[in-house]
Amino acid sequence: MEEKPGYYSILTADVRYDERLKKYADCKVLFSEITALSNKYGYCTASNGYFAKLYDRPKPTISKWINLLIKFGYLKSEMVYKENSKEIQGRRLYPITTPINAHVKGGINAHVKDNITSINTINNNITTTTGPTEIGSIYEFWESNVDSLSPYLYEEIQAIYEDWSEVSKQPKEMILESIKMALDKGVRSISYIKAILKRWYDNRIYNIEDLKADQERFEKNKESKYNKQAKKGNAAGYDAKQWTYLSEEEEMRRFFGD
């Protein structure tokens, strides 16, 4: 999506005067932009990356604004996938409110459920099924092994998936590996998982093969350091096993950014 819409936008009274959004004026502007992008079909397909570029804000900020609008009941978010495919097609954002000009043909309809039913007949090549999809499998793994998914986590995982889809042919696999690694360390924080993924990204580790090679290098380096430390410990009269254990713990903290 490159062109800015020529449609009018709507900033309804309930959003405009919501005390919970008093400190988030830009969030209200975003809602208005979403209504403009929703005038054709009743939903907006723009990504967080599109809004980030449009408003010159980082993706996490856009994600925060969208999550607020979802939390307060002004937006409904649905993932869209290609039919019979694991490939993500995009996301639909439905404004949920009663706009002033709701009677205008082609505008936003306050009856979102009715809208969704009619909209699903517009494009037969896409579907909003919750079947075995790329990002859907990540959601399922999270709910089965970590915790329930809040709207915030849905948006966070989606943003992570979008970012990794740009650099990796295995975004699902890399994200799942990062979650498993965090769980192995007893950590269930999305920020910790993002830190692991950032390390991989910074080191150009974009697929499972790269990750395996990196882990092999880590193990070889650890073994080499163990041998050196053992020789030092023996020469100084220390307990080599205890001395190596402490050093390894420190190395792991550096490795994971703890």
Continuous H helices in 120-207: 134-145, 151-165, 171-184, 190-202
> What pLDDT sits at residue 210?
92
Helices 59-71, 25-37: axis angle to 10 degrees equals: 80
d(CA 71, CA 255) in angstroms, rounded, equals 36
Reference 114, options 43, 33, 36; nearest CA is 43
The bridge status of strand 126-127 relative to strand 88-95 is: unpaired
> What pLDDT sits at residue 249?
46
38, 108 Cβ separation under 8 angstroms: yes
Positive or negative, the CA dihedral 102, 8, 33, 126 is positive
> What pLDDT sits at residue 198?
93
Computed over every residue of the chain, the mean pLDDT equals: 74
Helices 134-145, 171-184: axis angle to 10 degrees equals: 10
> Between residues 133 and 113, which one has the greater pLDDT?
133
Read off the pLDDT of residues 166-221 as tens digits, 9 standing for 90 and up.
Answer: 888 899 999 999 999 999 999 999 999 999 999 999 999 999 999 999 888 888 87
Residue 146 backbone phi and psi in degrees, to 5: -115, -70
Residue 222 token pair: 């650890």
SS3 203: coil
> Between residues 248 and 93, which one has the greater pLDDT?
93
H helix or E strand, kind and range, residue 113: helix 112-119
The amino acid at 144: S
d(CA 103, CA 133) in angstroms, rounded, equals 37
d(CA 164, CA 149) in angstroms, rounded, equals 20
98, 120 Cβ separation under 8 angstroms: no
Q: What is the pTM of this model?
A: 0.44
Is residue 230's pLDDT more than 80?
no
Mean pLDDT of 138-153: 84
Instruction: Compute how many other C-beta atoms are within 10 angstroms of the C-beta atom of residue 116.
Output: 17
Q: Which domains does the chain have, with CATH numbers?
A: 13-127 (1.10.10.10), 134-202 (1.10.10.630), 221-256 (no CATH)
